[in-house]
Chain A
Amino acid sequence: MDLELIITSFPKLLGATVITLKLLSASLFFGLILGLFFAILRLNKNKLVRGFAYGYSYVFRGTPLLVQIFIIYFGLGQIEYLRTTFLWVILKEPYWCAIIAFSLNTGAYTSEILRSAFETIKPGIVEAGRSLGLNKMFIFSKIQIPIAIKQSLPAYGNEIILMLKGTSLASTVTLLDITGVAKFIISTTFRPIEVFIVAGSIYLFITFLVHNLIKYLEKKYRYQ
């Protein structure tokens, strides 16, 4: 055990934590929007719309995240047409490619979580709103969404932790997040155990924080 390496690698890995957290928060933000959008599509009466949303979540949940990143980072650059559009500004950056891939991935899982949350809302609650003469938008935003949030909190907490672990794949497209820096230190010092302890502790600490935040929110949104 090399204590000195643990001490010297800690600030480096802590610096990389910023990138990990940035990736995590950005992809959760976009993923939540995507997830909500596709969850609403899943509840649509039109079979084609529902099928489209189902296909999206099936494909992104059925393939590894690594493949998704590689398709977006290495694959899309191959299309000549894309290189001429303004999208290329975004797609040539590994940082944005990673965020796009993560958002699409977590969006698929989030849509499933939200869909099942919407389905557990008792029809009576919505009917009560309608009989009070509330309009559709109001029922959706003030009744259905708050209940769905409460229902989906535990599952969404798991998804946040899965996504945190997923951000480690950003290191495969040259980004220096915690795992990327850890790999760099390991391959220069050949001391995997020490680095693993430091990097692992940082990840566990973030997991711990997320876990407690979700616990707190669950308590806050519990029925009285």
Chain B
Amino acid sequence: MELISFGDNGWGDELFVATLMTIAVAITAMLIGFLFALLFTPLKLSKYKILNLIANFYTTVVRGVPELLVIYLFFFGGSGAIMYVAQIFGYYDYIEINAFLTGAISIGIISGAYSTEVFRGAIQSIDKGQFEACHVLGLKKYIYFFKVIMPQMLRLAIPNLSNVWQITLKDTSLISVTGLVEIMRQSYIAAGSTRDPLFFYSFAALLYLMLTYLSMKFINRLEKNYSRGY
């Protein structure tokens, strides 16, 4: 118990901060993923073959390649790419992008590929009549999307999005390889300095279980909210 006490002797406070970091990375990644999904879902549903191809390339590659490999690509390649762009503008110093952003972006791109598939499926399963009715009523494009399609899409998408969230949350553990101090990295440090890996990794597993359990509870409530009227 002393090992996880708060204060100088225990790792409680460090692990607490690390847990907050995990949550922060996961939420940021999920939001970045939504941005990607917002960009690629229309491409997937577009009637132009070339746009479909681009979106399919994105989802297939990202979902077919290990997460760790994507993280290494951004970890080792991220600052290089930014420095390359900076050099064009005449800036030659070393630029280091921080681990949080690298991690959130790489996990976000992965989560975005899954979200894209979820949104695509949800929009495709909305009844065709809904789209036609909007046309007939002559609704403005943004009303048509935000007031008619979006609420129906969210109801269908939430159960699958909760899976994407679970995947994203668990993927954040992989960011520890870049040195960002989240649950996994903090447990690694604690295990190294106390020589008690069994305890700390088990505790980390417990923290992740708690996070997945709590988010399930939260999502279930959300789901109920969006299924009103059904």
Contact = CB atoms under 8 A, between A and B. Distances in A.
Given A200-B61, A203-B64, A182 B198 contact: no
A66 B173 contact: yes
A172 B173 CA distance: 12
Given A64-B208, A192-B76, A75 B201 contact: yes
A74 B191 contact: yes
B66 A67 contact: no
B18 interface: no
Interface in A169-224: 169, 171-172, 179, 182-183, 186-187, 190, 192-193, 196, 199-200, 203-204, 207-208
A171 B64 CA distance: 18
A76 interface: yes
A168 interface: yes
Interface string B153-175: 00000000000001000111110
A196 B69 contact: yes
Contacts of B172: 64
A68 B66 CA distance: 17
A204 B68 contact: no
Given A64-B184, A193-B73, A165 B198 contact: no
A74 B72 contact: no
Given A183-B72, A193-B77, A200-B61, A168 B198 contact: no
B205 interface: yes
A62 B204 contact: no
A67 B76 contact: no
A171 B76 contact: no
Contacts of B67: 165, 168
A212 B156 CA distance: 29
Q: Which of B76, B177, B202, B209 has the most CB of A within 10 A?
A: B76
B212 interface: yes
B212 A179 contact: no
B76 A71 contact: no
Interface in A46-80: 58-59, 62-68, 70-71, 74-79
Given A59-B209, A62-B209, A64-B208, A171 B173 contact: no
Nearest to B172: A64
A161 interface: yes
Contacts of A79: 198
Nearest to B183: A67
A65 B170 contact: yes
A196 B149 CA distance: 38
B220 interface: no
Nearest to A74: B197
Contact of B68 (A67, A68, A75, A169): A169
Nearest to B202: A71
Nearest to B110: A165
Contacts of B174: 64, 66, 169
Contacts of B208: 62-64, 67
Nearest to A68: B205
Given A199-B69, A204-B60, A62 B213 contact: yes
A63 B170 contact: yes
Given A62-B166, A70-B184, A169-B68, 12 more contacts: A65-B170, A66-B174, A67-B201, A67-B205, A74-B201, A75-B202, A78-B197, A165-B64, A186-B76, A196-B73, A203-B64, A204-B60
10 contacts: A59-B209, A70-B204, A71-B198, A71-B205, A78-B198, A164-B66, A179-B68, A183-B72, A200-B65, A203-B65
Interface of A: 58-59, 62-68, 70-71, 74-79, 161, 164-169, 171-172, 179, 182-183, 186-187, 190, 192-193, 196, 199-200, 203-204, 207-208
The 6 A-B pairs with the shortest beta carbon distances in the complex, nearest first, are: A168-B66, A75-B198, A192-B77, A64-B173, A74-B197, A192-B76
